[in-house]
Homo-oligomer: A and B are copies of this chain.
Amino acid sequence: MPSRDSSRRRRTSTDKEGAGHRSRDALRAAQMYYLQDLTMDAIARELRTSRSTVSRLLSLARQTGLVQISVNNPTERAPVLEQQIRRRFGVEAHVVPVADSVSDSEALERVAIQAARTISPLMDSNAIIGVAWGSTLSAVSHHLTRKDIHDSTIVQLNGAGNTQTTGITYASEILRRFGQAYGARVEQFPVPAFFDHAETKRAMWNERSVRRILDLQHRMTVAVFGVGSIDAGIPSHVYSGGYLDDEDLAQLAEDEVVGDVATMFFREDGSHRDILLNQRSTGPDLDRLREVRRRICVVSGETKINGLRGALAAGLATDLILDEASARRLVQLAADEQPGAPARLAGTSRADR
């Protein structure tokens, strides 16, 4: 190995160009590491820098989407659970492997990481991406990786007066992260989650500022949301965050509501007609939502199962990302209801481990 210390500390002075030599080095390093299988140490020597810098360059390359790692789900022999869900509910399922023993919060975290990586490839240029808020989406938003697409817009799906800061990140924070990851404009929806009076909502819905958002929502090409479930052990913060008072909750019970998507409520069979609270909610009309091309639902935790079943019955999602335990439970319940179908369940829940 020849001399190596001559041209060194200059480097940045030659640096002028926009993205800089940093990302160029990151590309080089990524190629050498992921395509040529060199060690970071070897790369460091070629790049005349330290191994730790290479480590950081690679980390940058992953972060900025220069490197894309995809785990291929060979569709034919896909895991049994995903096939079953697809068949029964007509949604593309992405089951996140999580052992039953991990805590709920860790499971959420892991579903969120995998969700963030699963949705990236679904995002395209010129998209209008509707994003809800809630603990699930918040977690997802933290793990998005950058993807360079152009002229896209992130639009908030439902209002969220952050009057009651419950500690979760604000809706605006979630949106900001999405916007940053995809280099997209962000359009907030500056209304409270619920109006007190349906008339106020009607009035607001005629305001130009609001109509602009509604129009964007109308032209959405992708929607990303979680679900709330009325009986969730850790109740969706819609139900516990002070948005609804006792009277509202009683009304929901009377209307047989099982859950919500973006603060729009529905029943176990998926119906949402005559649910009073929806008249005061700022979420998107569910019939309209169903027309969005790609509707991605992220769910973690068996406690949300009832809300999820309602959402599936309503046909709100085209893609479903959920943890393994919930997936199993979902299939199980469906089989119990409809025993005509091949009842290979006990076998199933073992086979896919």
Contacts and interface: CB of A to CB of B under 8 A. Distances in A.
A79 interface: yes
Contact of A79 (B7, B27, B72, B117): B27
A239 B99 CA distance: 60
A174 to B, nearest CB: 20
A350 to B, nearest CB: 6
Interface in A41-56: 45-46
B68 A31 contact: no
Interface in A7-58: 7, 14, 17-19, 21, 24, 27-28, 30-32, 34-38, 45-46
A263 B28 CA distance: 34
Nearest to A110: B36
Nearest to A78: B27
Contacts of A61: 71
A67 interface: yes
B72 A31 contact: no
Contacts of A69: 34, 67-70
A65 interface: yes
Given A4-B101, A32-B97, A36-B113, A66 B72 contact: yes
A100 interface: yes
Contacts of A71: 27, 30-31, 34-35, 61, 66-68
A27 B101 contact: no
Contact of A113 (B17, B35, B46, B148): B35
A342 B152 CA distance: 36
A253 to B, nearest CB: 31
B79 A148 contact: no
Contact of A72 (B18, B45, B68, B110): B68
Nearest to A21: B353
Given A14-B350, A19-B77, A24-B352, A101 B68 contact: no
Given A68-B70, A73-B27, A79-B24, A2 B36 contact: no
Interface string A272-293: 0000000000000000000000
A351 interface: yes
A332 interface: no
A1 interface: yes
A209 B114 CA distance: 52
Interface in A150-168: none
A295 to B, nearest CB: 21
A118 B35 contact: yes
Contacts of A171: none
A96 interface: yes
A340 interface: no
Interface of A: 1-2, 4, 7, 14, 17-19, 21, 24, 27-28, 30-32, 34-38, 45-46, 61, 65-74, 77, 79, 96-102, 110, 113-114, 117-118, 148, 350-353
14 contacts: A14-B350, A14-B351, A24-B352, A27-B73, A30-B71, A31-B114, A32-B110, A34-B71, A35-B117, A38-B110, A67-B72, A68-B71, A69-B70, A70-B70
Per CB-CB distance, the 3 closest pairs between chain A and chain B, nearest first, are A46-B99, A35-B114, A28-B97
